[in-house]
Amino acid sequence: MVAMTQEQEFQELVDADQRIEPRDWMPEAYRKTLIRQIAQHAHSEIIGMQPEGNWITRAPSLRRKAILMAKVQDEAGHGLYLYSAAETLGVGRDELLDLLHAGRQKYSSIFNYPTVTWADMGAIGWLVDGAAIVNQVPITRCSYGPYARAMVRICKEESFHQRQGFEILHTLSHGTPAQHEMAQDAVNRWWWPSLMMFGPPDDQSPNSAQSMAWKIKRFSNDELRQKFVDMTVPQAEVLGLTLPDPEIRWDEAAGNYAFGDIDWTEFFEVLKGNGPCNAARMEHRVRAHVEGSWVREAATSYAEKTAARVQEGAA
């Protein structure tokens, strides 16, 4: 009998839907792909705090402010679980943050758009968190254990986020004509960027085939985008809002909603750094990191003193 290579054994485990854990052997390219995706995901969560943080001081009531603060804090928590998941692959959080700050790692395109009215909080919750759920629920079955497990709790919280966004939009949509218009305007602006969150079309997605063979991704970018459209069109009807795409119609033969062409030029421009808020997001992130250095120094010093005291006690 010919002995299997480590790589073949690894692929057999993946094919059998077994989880890969940090101490297991894994191909270097698998490790690198996971670090790339998990880091990008973590960065998205913390940069994603900015557009919503912008409205905490201007929320229209105490109740709305408390809910928004909780949501933004959840995003910070998601970032932390994800950086921890990345650390199990042998890369430090500080290294990943340095790569983000140097523009060598990405974060989601969606967070490069401005939040100009309160209704944007509703549209982000409903559409952006809605898209995030559709993308992330399959990652709870990702082949890499720590990433899959982090995603279970994240998805539960995203589900709450999506409902709060829906509720904001429902209230506005059924309020005064001006409030209805504000809700419609926010949906008009966030719809297409939300579809772009799923990544480039399958025939322009260099990473998909390998990531699917490794079961990091369970569905292709286009499959998830379609699921999102199918889920969202009926919800828009309940909200009493329209989606800004005259080509959306039920396609009986396909059994799903057909929709219009996405402007991929806009997507690739945003990825290159030319979106409306790329520069502002990075500037804010780097400043927050520099201004927060005293917290990291204090935490390191406290940890060193505590360790020294424990050692003294043991001596």
φ, ψ for residue 206, nearest 5 deg: -65, -25
Q: Whole-number minimum distance, CB 85 to ligand FAQ, in Å?
A: 11
119 contacts ligand FAQ (rule: CB under 6 A) = no
Residues in contact with ligand FAQ, counted by CB under 6 A, come to a total of 29
Which amino acid would we find at residue 245? D
Which amino acid would we find at residue 81? Y
**Two structure tokens written together for 47:** 């940069």
Report d(CA 39, CA 32) in Å as an integer: 10
**Contact track, ligand FAQ, 131-150, x by CB under 6 A:** -x--x---------------
Listed ranges 11-19, 184-192, 197-205, 237-245: which one lies at the site for ligand FAQ (CB under 6 A): 197-205
Helices 145-173 + 62-87 axis angle, to 10: 160
Among 117, 140, 159, 207, binds ligand FAQ (CB under 6 A): 207
Closest CB to ligand FAQ belongs to which residue? Answer: 48
For residues 172 and 165, is the Cβ–Cβ distance under 8 A?
no
- For 10, half-sphere exposure in the C-beta direction (CA atoms, 13 angstrom radius) is 20
Cα distances from 103 to residues 206, 260, 271, 286, in angstroms, run: 20, 32, 11, 11
Among 26, 35, 37, 228, binds ligand FAQ (CB under 6 A): 37
Listed ranges 142-150, 174-182, 194-202, 255-263: which one lies at the site for ligand FAQ (CB under 6 A): 194-202
Where does residue 24 rank: exposed (0-12), middle (13-18), buried (19+ CB within 10 A)? Answer: middle
Listed ranges 12-20, 56-64, 171-179, 192-200: which one lies at the site for ligand FAQ (CB under 6 A): 192-200
Report d(CA 193, CA 225) in Å as an integer: 12
Listed ranges 18-26, 34-42, 178-186, 299-307: which one lies at the site for ligand FAQ (CB under 6 A): 34-42
Q: Whole-number minimum distance, CB 305 to ligand FAQ, in Å?
A: 36
Among 30, 34, 39, 45, binds ligand FAQ (CB under 6 A): 45
Report d(CA 267, CA 119) in Å as an integer: 23
Among 35, 91, 124, 229, binds ligand FAQ (CB under 6 A): 124
**Which residues of this chain interact with ligand FAQ, rule CB under 6 A?**
36-37, 40-41, 44-45, 48, 75, 106, 108-109, 124, 128-129, 132, 135, 196-200, 205-208, 211, 217, 221, 271
